[in-house]
Structure 1
Amino acid sequence: MKIGFIGMGNMAKAIASGFIASRKIQKENIFAFAPNQEKLKKNAGEIGFIPCESILSLADSCDVFIMSCKPYQIEGVLSEIQGRLFGKVLVSVAAGWSYEKFHGILGDDVRVQCIMPNTPAMVGEGVMLFEKENSLNAGELKEIKDLFSSLGIIEELPASLMGIGGAISGCGPAFMDLIIESYADAAVKYGISRQTAYKIVSQTMLGSAKLQLKTEAHPGILKDAVCSPGGTTICGVDSLEKNGLRGICISSIDAIMKK
């Protein structure tokens, strides 16, 4: 499989880095094109993929493409290379583009799968949301899922739920980083060094998340297990509840969905 990235922004870098780190695909089989050739070549030197000097060169070099440019650029890109995509696979990671939208432009000539990934894919802990509606054959779908499973977990959602799913998993890392920074600030306030604070808080978040995933226990049950009667943790929980933690979290997603 020769994979071509159309665009090489932060998300594409995370995916390409994850593919190479997982050894699911060799770096000499990963190609990319972006208009900013200087930045593209710099990224190629860091990650190991092969930079292409033109979008047409990329189209001729690969059989699977990852559409990772800005959503508003997609129609222009497709107008340039549509004829060279015949019989090939297009995997889109662009927000706001569904299988139906691609199919309206490409018809049945190109097999399409839309995915919403997130940046933790770079370390193999991402969330890959696969839109259920696609035109890949069974073998291709299995191969693409196997490839992306090296970057994290895969969940399928209907087109109608890809927006909210992407809001949670795609924007979520920024929210988690804010929480890490906030609790690290608290640790620093009481004397722990900044570097140690980040390590303690990040590992606490990682461990808590893995415990929930492994046990599949309700988060409330896991929370209760830490809250001893009259203890310190329940006092902290009480403060979070009084300050509206749940409502703030839900409101952040409301703001995204209303944008």
Structure 2
Amino acid sequence: MVSSQVKIGFIGFGNMASAMADGWIASGKVPAGHLYACAGHYDALVERTASRGMNACHDASEVVTASDVVVVAVKPYLIEGVLAPVAGLFAGKTILSVAAGWKSEDYERVIPGTHHLSTVPNTPVAICEGVIACEAAHTLDAGEYTLLNELLGLLGTVVEVESRLLSVAGTVGGCSPAFIAMVIEALGDAAVKYGIPRAKAYAMVSQMVAGTAKLQLATGQHPGAMKDAVCSPGGTTIRGVAALEEAGMRSAFIKAIDAIEG
């Protein structure tokens, strides 16, 4: 099966599930009509799916029945209660988990014998620029593994990690967009302080962040070397770097990850 033929169902249709749906639709490879979803509030779900050309389902059993790939996108504490009643419907289905903290061993405990892969994506999947951390341990066969990698590859960069690293990989990839948004907001405020209109400030800063990231990916340069390349001896940039170091910028980012993982 190829991505254009597969039918994908979401159990839960919150921010992450809708971002994935938007990304698949935007890719042009997965027709909106091949996407199904159920959620706690059906009326609101109908509005959200209809605007995308998707199909609204009343419950998890309807989603599983309609789909080839089932995306588990409910809160972790709800998973067991949602999946156990429909466990008998998963024969021939592929399960893609996007629930933080749930690994292969957890799914084997709740719905043993099913074919599943645990992942942690981030919200830029909505524009096919995401990072998707995938657990190396899974129960997929070769064909299913190829299909899910193809589907996830449409949404961004897929990074496979050991089970013990899935949490921190998901934290760095999944939570950091919030941190970078704060950086964009702060630099935008600084630009506004000196007279640049806010919309232009955000456009400049966001493009700077995107361009810097793309440059690193394209060249493979160490971030420190990229920083050094902008810092002339006695120049303006090195003074800004010194101020950030004095303010503990690096330590603050590391502590943010510690706060989540700790």
Query: In 2, Cα distance between the equivalents of 1:254 and 1:55?
Result: 35
Map 1:229-240 → 2, pairs under 5 A: 229-240=233-244
Match for residue 21 of structure 1?
26
Percent identity among equivalent residues? 44
Letter in 1 for 2:50: G
Query: In 2, Cα distance between the equivalents of 1:10 and 1:152?
Result: 17
Map 1:1-259 → 2, pairs under 5 A: 1-108=6-113, 110-258=114-262
Q: SS of the residue aligned with 1:205?
A: helix
Deviation at 1:45, TM superposition (A): 2.2
Deviation at 1:55, TM superposition (A): 2.0
Deviation at 1:104, TM superposition (A): 1.5
Q: SS of the residue aligned with 1:69?
A: coil
Query: In 1, Cα distance between the equivalents of 2:173 and 2:91?
Result: 32
Q: Deviations over 1:102-134 (max 9, x none)?
A: 0122222x1000011000000111001110000
State the Cα RMSD in Å: 0.8
Q: SS of the residue aligned with 1:139?
A: helix
Q: Deviations over 1:176-200 (max 9, x none)?
A: 0000000000000000001000000
Q: Does the CA-based 8 Å contact 2:84-2:111 persist in structure 1?
A: no
Deviation at 1:138, TM superposition (A): 1.1
Q: SS of the residue aligned with 1:42?
A: helix
TM-score (norm 2): 0.96
Q: Does the CA-based 8 Å contact 2:84-2:110 persist in structure 1?
A: no
Query: In 2, Cα distance between the equivalents of 1:228 and 1:105?
Result: 58
Where in structure 2 are there 5+ consecutive unaligned residues?
Answer: 1-5
Q: Does the CA-based 8 Å contact 2:135-2:160 persist in structure 1?
A: yes
Query: In 1, Cα distance between the equivalents of 2:51 and 2:213?
Result: 30
Query: In 2, Cα distance between the equivalents of 1:206 and 1:151?
Result: 17
Query: In 2, Cα distance between the equivalents of 1:23 and 1:99?
Result: 30
Deviation at 1:56, TM superposition (A): 1.8
Q: SS of the residue aligned with 1:154?
A: strand
TM-score (norm 1): 0.97
> How many residues are aligned here?
257
Where in structure 1 are there 5+ consecutive unaligned residues?
Answer: none
Structure 1 runs, 4 residues or longer, greater than 3 Å off? none
Query: In 2, Cα distance between the equivalents of 1:76 and 1:210?
Result: 42
Match for residue 3 of structure 2?
none
Query: In 1, Cα distance between the equivalents of 2:20 and 2:139?
Result: 22
